[in-house]
Structure 1
Amino acid sequence: MKSRFLRTFALFSTFMMTIPALAWADDAAQAAATIDTGDTSWVLISAALVMLMTLPGLALFYGGLSRKKNVLSTIMYSFFAMVIISLQWPLWGYSLSFGPDINHIIGSLDWFGLSNVGIDPNPDYGATIPHQAFMIFQMMFAIITPALISGAFAERMRFPAFIAFLLLWATFVYDPVAHWVWGVDGWLRNLGALDFAGGTVVHILSGVSGLVACLVLGKRKGLGSEPMIPHNLPFVVLGAALLWFGWFGFNAGSALGANGLAVSAFVVTHLATAAAAFSWVVAEWLHHGKPTTLGAASGAVAGLVAITPAAGFVGPMPAILIGLISGVVCYLMVSVVKAKLRYDDALDAFGIHGIGGTWGAIATGLFASTAVNPAGGDGLFFGNPEQLVNQLIAVAVTWGVAIVGTYVILKVINLFSKLRATDEEQDTGLDFTQHGEDAYTDLVSGSTLAAFAAVPAAKATAGAVKPAL
């Protein structure tokens, strides 16, 4: 009797244990039926391409533009943006940006720590790809945006302050604006503002925030009295080429599928970039008498920035026009306006990203066409002036948030940790004073460069200058 009872209990237990397994298998089969492997592959590849834009693309571009005593500290800005935001984003950044909406202003924390963000598709953010694929793709956008800002304050912001800035700016500036523009029920998205891949969220936010940061920190020591030219132009050109390459993931990947819209975004991205590089070089040639490799690289980045918000909404000919105008406008901002206004945007983050992103967002309101993307809207030149109004509202709001948010964050950080490197630290170079390293070795003496000799022996023996928090 006892044996029969045990056998019956065992059979019943096995049956009950099988039910969750069957349910899981059914869920897995359902997910497999909706996930498109081609779309998923393209989004994952695009995420990797956007990562390449930050490391090594932006790191080399900005590193080459800096002076040799600051090249490592400049590269470290991009590298540590990758580190910090890769932790902030899955913990709370993604949930604030794309999580269930709260009053059209911010995402809830329902997805904190990637809770409820699994491998099944979320129809709101890609019906044919795993939810985590969309999450990791958007993470790469969140990484490069604050890294772009660093070009404005390069060579003078202390590293502890930069870490605090990364966390606070990403949380209180980037995440809310990303929700407004891209999150389901975000108020700018509901308004009808178009931003295919980040003209407002990435480039206006980063460029304008960079302008605020360079004004708050002040000019670099020696600006105007000593040379501050790029130390390695091959780095700059290589970085720009990697940005151009990675940008195909940035823009075409935002179609969230291997489809015709991705192809269109890919094509217009390339055309606008070439057009902007051409127009920048021509403007520079006419203005200064020489076409430079630095100008070609800068123009290409200006074109990439300008086409970003429009990439999924405009055709090839408008893309070329957007690029041509971007090259000239950004060149004038960098070479003429900055000199007259005398602000120290060290690596032209504002001149290229702030101005290029603003022009691109406005151009979207001019040239957008439902013939390219039925999910978008027609722009002014296709009979819909309201779209231009929506774009102007989005631009103004993004400028306002960048100005106020960045200013407040920097002032708060300065209460606890000095923002600006001292004059002595700037003379020596941030590579050594902030990181205890030097990028280059003196081939004659076999010792480190003169920056090390300028530091008192006791500090050199210690291996690094310990910054005061």
Structure 2
Amino acid sequence: MAGLLAFAPSLAHAQVDGGDAVDSGDTAFVLGMALLALALILPGIILHHGGRLRAKAFAATATEVGAIAAIVTLAWVAVGYTLGFGNVTSGWLGSGNAWMLLDLANVRGSSAVPETAFVLLQLGFAVLAATLLTGAWAERGNIAWIVPFAGLWSLVVYAPLAHWIRGGGWLETRLGTVDFGGALVVHGCVGISALVITLLMGRRARLTGADGPHGSAPGLALAGTGMVWAALLALTAGATLAASDDAATALINAQVAAAAGALTWLLADTLASGKAHPFSLARGALAGLIAASAAANAIAPGTAMLAGLAGALVGWIAARLIRASGIDDAVDLVAVHGFGGLAGAMLAAPLIAGTLGGTGYAPGMGPLRQVIAQAMGVGVVVAWSAIGTAIVALMVAMIVPMRISEAAEIDGADQANHGVSSRDCE
């Protein structure tokens, strides 16, 4: 109880004590980017996912996104942040100094931003990762399983990866793995986790080709894509922790990559099917942006275009193969986020080279060592995400079923989980 009562004073204490100077401009910038991302993530994912699913699961998707955002916020403040970004000790997990945010530094690392602002920014990444997973159990997930799973997943799967690659852990400091904007930690992790969940749950009931790739509301899905696009831009810029040229560079590169990816996927689908489907634009934009986010602060705009093109092309091929295999990747989480993120992480190795206009390699690193570091990061993310997700999913499933019954699913997740349906609004 004493720790809980000390929570608010400790935050104030962390901001005013210590000799490190806080820059108000940088702080306002990071807070603004974090708030913008958090404001856009929820409606963006609700519309993006909901518009791509059958109408009788729209309210279920919205409720799941909101509930996950709530449970992950509490879990992140209580334990998640200190696991991911607490003081570095062994390089495997952050120390317990920041549980309930009780012991935060005046500023984060070498930045001029209070650690409290950094906490909020990283909360945005954590909420994004967990809420994206709603597409993995689309139309068939049991809300009683979803909420505890998401909270535990953010602590068991996401937080350790965040520490290893972005929080001063062993992959970042010992091997030199680069992941500036979350291509590996967020998107690669989400894609692999979604694949595991999809395989454990099985396909949706009475799924047809029309239900799968097309959904019920393409316009709403595109509107949601725009919000998620903007949220990713905000998180990418905020990751620089400064209102600086680096932030502008990261924003430009991410936007350029998204544009290149959108046109690449749209063109590929048009050539393959003769139709320029709205979802093609959505998939490509996100895949391109995700691919470039791995090193958005360290590459040139020209190579950002290449990253966006490659990320979208890899995602497009993956989506076709996944669909042909019978895996029910309802909103293309595996293809867009998983393959797009992992491809982007590998592309970062050559694209940050100074000869290609990038910022160059860190001291002691070179093209080959960077490729090895990135490959190790990809391997660890794939293995940890797959194993951790399976363990957490099955543990929670021992208490409550993962999915609703087939009869309830046919009636609609809106009605089965929440007692509402589209008919109520007529």
Taking structure 2 as the reference length, what is the TM-score of the superposition?
0.91
Which of 293, 303, 327 is the matching residue for 2:288? 303
Change (3 A) 1:421 1:400: same
Query: Match for 2:403 among 407, 420, 427?
Result: 420
Indicate the residue corresponding to 1:3 in structure 2: none
Equivalent of residue 397 in structure 1, options 380, 389, 392: 380
In the alignment, the residues of structure 2 paired with residue 275 and residue 160 of structure 1 have an alpha-carbon distance, to the nearest angstrom, of 40
**Alignment partner, residue 178 of structure 2:** 194
| Pairing 1:49–2:36 present | yes
In structure 2, the residue corresponding to 1:101 is in which secondary structure?
coil
List aligned pairs for 1:92-241, cutoff 5 A.
Answer: 92-117=79-104, 120-122=106-108, 124=109, 127-224=111-208, 227-228=211-212, 229-241=214-226
Q: Residue deviations 1:401-436, cap 9 Å, x none?
A: 011111111111111111011001101111111011
- Amino acid corresponding to residue 56 of structure 1 in structure 2: P
Q: How many residues align?
A: 411
- Report the counterpart of residue 244 of structure 1 in structure 2: 229
Q: Is the 8 A contact 2:250 2:297 kept in 1?
A: yes
How big is the shift at 1:62?
0.6
Structure having greater relative contact order (Cα 8 Å, sep ≥ 6): 2
Structure 1: how far apart are the matches of 2:388 and 2:188?
13
CA 1:377 to 1:221, structure 2 compared with 1: closer, same or farther past 3 Å? Answer: farther
CA distance 1:423–1:396, change in 2 (3 Å): same
- The structure-2 alpha-carbon separation of the partners of 1:291 and 1:225, relative to structure 1 and needing over 3 Å to count, comes to closer
Q: Which residue of 2 aligns with 1:40?
A: 27
Counterpart CA distance in 2 for 1:169 and 1:30 is 35
Query: Residue 111 of structure 1 aligns to which amino acid in structure 2?
Result: A
Q: Answer whether contact 1:64 1:236 (CA < 8 A) is retained.
A: yes
Aligned residues of 1:368 and 1:377 also touching (Cα < 8 A):
no
8 Å contact from structure 1 (residues 369, 376) kept in 2? no
2:59 corresponds to which residue? 72
In structure 1, how many angstroms separate the alpha carbons of the residues matched to 2:196 and 2:76?
24
- Give the aligned partner of residue 292 of structure 1: 277
Shift of 1:92: 0.7
**How many angstroms does 1:28 deviate by?**
4.0
Q: Which runs of 5+ in 1 are unaligned?
A: 1-23, 444-469
Give yes or no for contact 1:78–1:144 (8 Å, CA) kept in 2. Answer: no
Query: Quick one: distance in 2 between partners of 1:106 and 1:145?
Result: 19
CA RMSD of aligned residues (A): 2.1
User: 1:87: which partner in 2?
Assistant: 74
The letter of the residue matching 1:386 is R
Call closer, same or farther: CA 1:36–1:328 in 2, change over 3 Å: same
User: Which of 283, 293, 316 is matched with 1:331 structurally?
Assistant: 316
Q: Does 2:342 align with 1:358?
A: yes
Residue 6 (structure 1) aligns with: none
For 1:341, the equivalent position in structure 2 comes to 325
SS in 2 for 1:116: coil
Inter-CA distance 442–243: structure 2 relative to 1 (3 Å threshold): closer
Amino acid at match of 2:242: G
Q: Is the 8 A contact 2:315 2:340 kept in 1?
A: yes
* CA–CA distance in structure 1, aligned partners of residues 43 and 420 of structure 2: 19
Tell me what 2:6 maps to. none
Shift of 1:226: 7.3
- What SS does structure 1 have at the residue aligned with 2:141? coil
Q: Which amino acid is the alignment partner of residue 70 of structure 2?
A: V
- Give the 3 Å change call, closer, same or farther, for CA 248–420 of structure 1 in structure 2: same
Give me the whole-angstrom Cα distance separating, in 2, the residues matched to 1:155 and 1:161.
Answer: 14
Contact kept, 8 Å, 2:38 with 2:124, in 1: the verdict is yes
Q: Does the Cα contact within 8 Å between 1:49 and 1:247 map onto a contact in 2?
A: no
The aligned residue for residue 448 of structure 1 is: none
Structure 2 SS opposite 1:270: helix
Deviations 1:261-295 (A, max 9, x none): 11110110010000000110110110000112221
Structure 2, unaligned stretches of length 5 or more?
1-11
The amino acid across from 2:245 in the alignment is G
Q: CA deviation at 1:35?
A: 0.9
Q: Does 1:269 align with 2:254?
A: yes
